[in-house]
Amino acid sequence: MELANEYDVKSIAFPAISCGRYGYPLDLAAAIAIATISEAMLGSSVQEIIFAIIDPAVAQAYRIGLANRGK
């Protein structure tokens, strides 16, 4: 995000690599990623975040995490 701000990037993608693998809870991995990126966006030039996800279970965890954000 620091580089994105330095170069005035408006859109950035983050891949969900190994999200929930190796025994780490998928829902917690998604929630941490969403919270961390949301916090980093405060005062940022970035206006659009793309989560690059190919696994349906990971996509569902991110949907739930995004829906529950701020609750």
pLDDT tens per residue across span 15-54: 988 877 788 899 999 999 999 999 999 989 999 999 999 9
Tell me the whole-structure pTM to 2 decimals.
0.84
The whole-number pLDDT of residue 19 equals 77
The whole-number pLDDT of residue 17 equals 84
Q: Which of 24, 20, 3 is nearest to 12 (CA)?
A: 3
Q: Given a cut of 80, is residue 59 above it in pLDDT?
A: yes
58 pLDDT tier (thresholds 50, 70, 90): very high
The whole-number pLDDT of residue 21 equals 74
